[in-house]
Structure formats: C-alpha cells, structure tokens
A and B are shown apart, each in its own frame.
Chain A
Amino acid sequence: MQRYTRDQMAARVARDIPEGAYVNLGIGLPTLVANHLPKDREILLHSENGVLAMGPAPAPGAEDPDLINAGKQPVTLLPGGAYFHHADSFAMMRGGHLDFCVLGAFQVSKSGDLANWHTGAPDAIPAVGGAMDLAIGAKRVYVMMEHLTKQGQSKIVERCTYPLTGIGCVNRIFTDLAVIDVAKDGLRVIESVQGLAFEELQRLTGVALLAKERA
C-alpha cells in the first residue's frame, strides 16, 4: 500500500477543482493545493482577509506587509484581482458565492459533521477564525486530512468527539488513503490508493463505508 504524501493529497484535491471555480483554501495542509492547480484552468483563490485572485508567494525581498493571506503569509495579486473589506469577504463565504473550500480537520463524522477548530483540551487556547463560515457557506466543502491520527485511530468517525465546526457540511474527504464522498446513504469510497483493498480500508476506518459504484 502506497500512502499519498501531503503533496500527492494536494494534487488529488486540485484535480477535483474545475475551471472557473472560486475557491478558498484553509490554512495549513489545504494551502498546498495552490501549488497543484492545473495551469490550464482559470481558478480564482479567495482569502478571507480580503482578496480574490490571490497569486503565489512573492520573490524573496518583494514581500509587502500589506498583502498577506489568511495565514498571514505574504502573497501576490493576479491581474484582475480585487481587495475588499471583511464584511464583503464573509458575504462571499456565507452567502454561498464560493464554489469550493478546502479545510483541514481533526475529525469528520459519517454524516459530514466537521471538527477542526478546537481540541477542547482544558489548557488549549481556542481560535476559530473563518472555519465555521467556510464550513456552512461554501457550495462544496472538501476536507483534506490524514486518514488516521498519530495513534492510528480513524479520523472518520461515527460522531465527532471534538467540538464541532459545522453540522453535515462536508461533501468530500481526501485522505492519504482514499477519496470518500459524504453521500445521502453513507460514506461512499470514490477511490483508494494503489494496493489498498476495500476491506483493508474498511478495517482502518471507524465507520461503515460503501464500496465504489461500479461503472
């Protein structure tokens, strides 16, 4: 079995983002997706601090402290890009104008509940940012995460044990082992990494999976 690397996961997510899409990439792992978007597709990246058509990181020395992304890293603006204030930016998110968002996660439940903002640990300082707005606002919510925790437990669960970010909001899960759709009738495996049989994927996953539909 060949697990996807972080970059392979990012490339796999990128494949499922079509021409013309408006997309928000969450901070952390999802940010990598930007590096893998097909060059022949025009895809506009939104960053919640107030920019559309965000470009790649600037050359060293060309950073502008007034031009950053949601992760507070320096970025650039593509020709045709725009700046706007926070209420407009979140109207884009909450008003259902973004086609896709890609979010990291601690857990996703079988009904598409998402937990990604807080471990709930007593000494943890909570921070939520725009995660809850993206979770409920984007037309389609992609989650990108390792299939298992470092302790080997499935991050796809019956019910989230971490505090929720949103209820029933996730559409598709991309892990280092598989791509899984949150469907009406359950979690449907779209594909899995080479050499990983459905039975083995099922054994590793916390909840019942539906096999790929035969073409």
Chain B
Amino acid sequence: MINKIVSSVTAAVADIRDGAIVMIGGFGTAGMPSELIDALIAQGARDLTVVNNNAGNADTGLAALLATKRVRKIICSFPRQTDSWVFDALYRAGGIELELVPQGNLAERIRAAGAGIGAFYTPTGYGTQLADGKETRKIAGRNYVLEYPIHADYALIKADRADRWGNLVYRKTARNFGPIMASAARCTIVQVRETVDLGGLDPEVIVTPGIFVHRIVRVPASALAEPQAAG
C-alpha cells in the first residue's frame, strides 16, 4: 500500500543532507511551508542552496533559516522587501550568494526541470544585465536568451489538502510555486492542513497529481493560522 503520509515534520526532513538544493514554496508568506522550514532549521543541514521567489520576510520561516547562516546561496527574483532585513544584512556582509532571476524565468526554469526540458529560449531579460554572458538567439525576428532548468534535491511546499497518494489541492494564491516545484525536485515534501481518504479529492480539481509528491505531513490549521504582516 502506498502511503506517503509521514508522522511529523521532523521525520519528513530528516534526510536532507548538507549541500542540498532545496526549493521552498511561497510568495512572501502566502504558501510558505513554515513548519517544514522550522524542522529543517532544527535538523541542522548546512551549506544549502535555496530556491524561493523572495529571500524571507521578518524573522520567521525562510528568514529564520537564513539567519542560521546555513544557506550558502539563494536563487530568487525579489529579495529586497521592506521586511527582508535578515537577508539584507547577510548580503551586505558577503554572507550569502545571490542569483537574481526574473520571476518568469525562475518559474519557467523550475517548470522546465520538472518537464525534462534541457534548456529554453526566453524573451525576458534580453539586453539586460541579467542576461550578461548568456547565449542569445534571434528566432523569427525576436531576440531570446538561453536559460537552463533548475533542479532540486528537495522541494518543501505547502498545500491545503492531500490524500495518501500525494494528490494535492491548494488554497487561493498560496498555490504560487507549489505545483512547479513539486515537479522539479527529486523529493517533494508537502505540509497540508488536512489529509483525506483516497477519493476524497475531486479528480477534476486535483492541481498536483501524487506522482510529483513523495512525503505528506499534516500540520493542523491552528498552527498555520498565525497572522503574518504583509511585506
């Protein structure tokens, strides 16, 4: 019997090793898998490369992970925010490497990894600093930049509900990077508000089919309900 549901966030992240590439879902704090991040902090893996849209908000979640100085490099599109002081201080002190990627290229590089695409030509960023040194090509009169996929060892994401096969539905704009990150990682770990029996999710509305998911851990809603400041 397939059962991807694990007993705790601690068990879910136990084998993440030093040097791993870890995708972390969320756009700001919407969809950020805070409890999985806390478990990763407690687990102690270091020298990590993290892929996220941002670089942490305030002092919790991803920001707390960065504060441990166990993240060597972050790949993101929008690190600077009003409440990104943890990242800002690390970056200014030379304590973290930043790979800045236009948001659509970031999403497409993740999607490409999940879809087995070797590289792709994108119009975004052509002629800008963020395409410096990259291969370009003119196709049908339009200029493109060659971009490569981003693969990960792990993806930590948050969804709303799952069954034991790992089928997922999300909640509102917390979906953001979840579905594409789930497809791009060797091991996708998902925290959900609720688990349901097989058949409990309408197959017409399952957003991420379980084939992309390896571990599910239930984090009850009470623990998810902490209000977060916008940033």
Taking A51-B173, A68-B173, A72-B28 as contacts, is the C-beta distance between A94 and B123 under 8 angstroms?
yes
Tell which of B29, B84, B111, B176 has the most Cβ of chain A within 10 Å. B176
Q: Is the CB of B30 within 8 A of A126?
A: no
Taking A72-B27, A85-B176 as contacts, is the C-beta distance between A123 and B171 under 8 angstroms?
no
Taking A128-B130, A132-B102, A132-B125 as contacts, is the C-beta distance between A49 and B78 under 8 angstroms?
no
CA distance A160 to B218 in the complex (A): 51
Q: Is the CB of A127 within 8 A of B130?
A: no
- B91-107 toward A: CB 8 Å interface, digit per residue (1/0)? 11000001011111101
Q: Enumerate chain B residues within 8 angstroms of A48, measured Cβ to Cβ.
A: 103
Closest-CB distance, A140 to chain B (whole angstroms): 16
Question: What's the tally of chain B residues with a CB closer than 8 Å to chain A?
Answer: 53
CB contacts under 8 Å to B, within A80-137, are 83-87, 89-90, 93-94, 118, 123, 125-133, 136-137
Taking A49-B27, A125-B79, A130-B103 as contacts, is the C-beta distance between A164 and B110 under 8 angstroms?
no
Q: Is the CB of B80 within 8 A of A125?
A: yes
| Residue B223 interfacial (CB < 8 Å) | no
Q: What class of interface size applies to chain A in its complex with B?
A: 35 or more
Closest chain A residue to B183 by CB distance?
A: A87
CA distance A126 to B105 in the complex (A): 16
CB contacts under 8 Å to A, within B65-123, are 77-81, 84, 87-88, 91-92, 98, 100-105, 107-108, 110-111, 122-123
CA distance A49 to B129 in the complex (A): 24
Q: Enumerate chain B residues within 8 angstroms of A68, measured Cβ to Cβ.
A: 27-28, 30, 173, 230
Closest-CB distance, A46 to chain B (whole angstroms): 12
| Residue B178 interfacial (CB < 8 Å) | yes
CA distance A79 to B53 in the complex (A): 28
Q: Enumerate chain A residues within 8 angstroms of B143, measured Cβ to Cβ.
A: 167
Q: Enumerate chain A residues within 8 angstroms of B123, measured Cβ to Cβ.
A: 94, 136-137
| Residue B227 interfacial (CB < 8 Å) | yes
| Residue B177 interfacial (CB < 8 Å) | yes
Q: Is the CB of B207 within 8 A of A130?
A: no
**Interface positions of B (Cβ within 8 A of A):** 27-31, 53, 77-81, 84, 87-88, 91-92, 98, 100-105, 107-108, 110-111, 122-130, 143, 170-180, 207, 227-228, 230-231
Provide a sorted-by-A list of 10 A–B residue pairs whose CB atoms are within 8 angstroms: A49-B27, A65-B30, A65-B228, A83-B175, A86-B27, A87-B107, A94-B108, A126-B98, A136-B123, A166-B126
